[in-house]
């Protein structure tokens, strides 16, 4: 049964910890209508306790098509619409390319890319029908910059960014916005809980992949990013009159991405003659 509230309806994946949990906490506290999801809904029961009129705790593993359909249907049936989908569920894999285990790589792609795409496809018919909505895809600065030791994670986030760019162009005529969120290091438990490591590490990569692996593990608890401020920034950007396609979060992400843009610009400029020389000669 649809609620009478006119507050926007947010469907958020991966709410047990991190950005998903902070977003759900803030939105529910403000009276927004929120479908918070997690693989184990018991872990988010506290989020909706006392807010049953405007919040749901739903079971959702984005790798499970049946659970995706059920979560989307429950949200639409309860609140009458879906205004914002936040694709936050995902995890990382700290591995040099050579160290990668095929099963672990494919499992991460299933969650970070294919799960995100599947729930997006399930929500879009609702947004097209109402001619409005926003899709928020949580990427990373690692979706814009490749780092040694996280190549496969980078690959999933680069895929999310490419998908999001195309999606933004496809759904704009329906009044649907797309926002790519690109955090740097934030003080969540991502590095402690949401990371996998190689089954067979290779010490030859001690100065590159292994060094970054150790750096990330040792960073936990001292990251400069504040997840509460990040959640506030996401909400404010989604609700702005003209939201951007990309939202870097944190000084490290902003500075790193700015430097990457300049580096790519210089590199492409340096090969302009070679690039143009690959065309058929004019008049041929």
Q: Residues 129, 133, 139, 145: what is their CA dihedral angle, to the nearest 10 degrees?
A: 100
Which listed residue (32, 93, 152, 153) is catalytic? 153
Active-site residue identified among 16, 32, 95, 157: 157
> What are the C-alpha distances in Å from 87 to residues 16, 27, 190, 276, 279?
13, 16, 16, 39, 40
CA 78 to centroid of chain Cα atoms: 25
Please say if 205 is a catalytic residue: no
User: Of the listed 16, 32, 95, 139, which one is catalytic?
Assistant: 139
For residues 160 and 208, give the distance between their C-alpha atoms in angstroms, rounded to a whole number. Answer: 25
Question: Quick check: is 219 catalytic?
Answer: no
**Does the annotation count 157 as an active-site position?**
yes
Nearby residues of 230 by Cβ (< 8 Å), 6 or more positions away: 19, 22, 183, 186, 249, 250
Sole residue written with tokens 């329906």: 174
Q: Could you tell me the two tokens for 91?
A: 């995890």
CB 204 within 8 A of CB 102: no
Structure tokens at 154: 């980078």
Q: Any idea which residues carry the catalytic annotation?
A: 139, 153, 157
């Amino acid at each position: 049964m649809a609620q009478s509230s006119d507050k926007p309806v947010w469907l958020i994946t991966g709410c047990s910890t991190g950005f998903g949990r902070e977003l759900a906490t803030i939105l529910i506290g403000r009276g927004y209508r929120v479908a918070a999801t997690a693989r184990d809904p018991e872990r988010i029961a506290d989020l909706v306790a006392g807010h049953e009129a405007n919040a749901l705790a739903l079971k959702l593993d984005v790798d499970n098509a049946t659970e995706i359909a059920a979560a989307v249907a429950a949200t639409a049936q309860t609140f009458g619409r879906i205004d914002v989908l936040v694709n936050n569920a995902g995890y990382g894999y700290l591995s040099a390319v050579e160290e990668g285990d095929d099963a672990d790589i494919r499992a991460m792609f299933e969650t970070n890319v294919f799960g995100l795409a599947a729930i997006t496809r399930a929500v879009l018919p609702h947004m097209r029908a109402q001619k409005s909505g926003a899709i928020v895809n949580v990427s990373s600065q690692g979706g814009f910059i490749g780092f040694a030791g996280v190549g496969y994670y980078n690959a999933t986030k680069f895929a999310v960014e490419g998908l999001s760019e195309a999606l933004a162009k496809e759904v704009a005529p329906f009044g649907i916005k797309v926002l790519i969120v690109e955090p740097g290091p934030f003080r969540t438990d991502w590095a402690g809980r949401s990371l996998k490591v190689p089954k067979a590490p290779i010490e030859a990569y001690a100065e590159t992949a292994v060094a970054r692996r150790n750096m990330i593990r040792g960073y936990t608890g001292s990251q400069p990013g504040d997840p509460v401020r990040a959640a506030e920034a996401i909400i404010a950007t989604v609700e702005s009159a003209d939201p951007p396609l990309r939202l870097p979060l944190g000084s490290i992400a902003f500075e790193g991405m700015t430097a990457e843009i300049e580096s790519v610009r210089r590199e492409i400029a340096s090969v302009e003659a070679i690039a143009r020389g690959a065309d058929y000669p004019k008049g041929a």
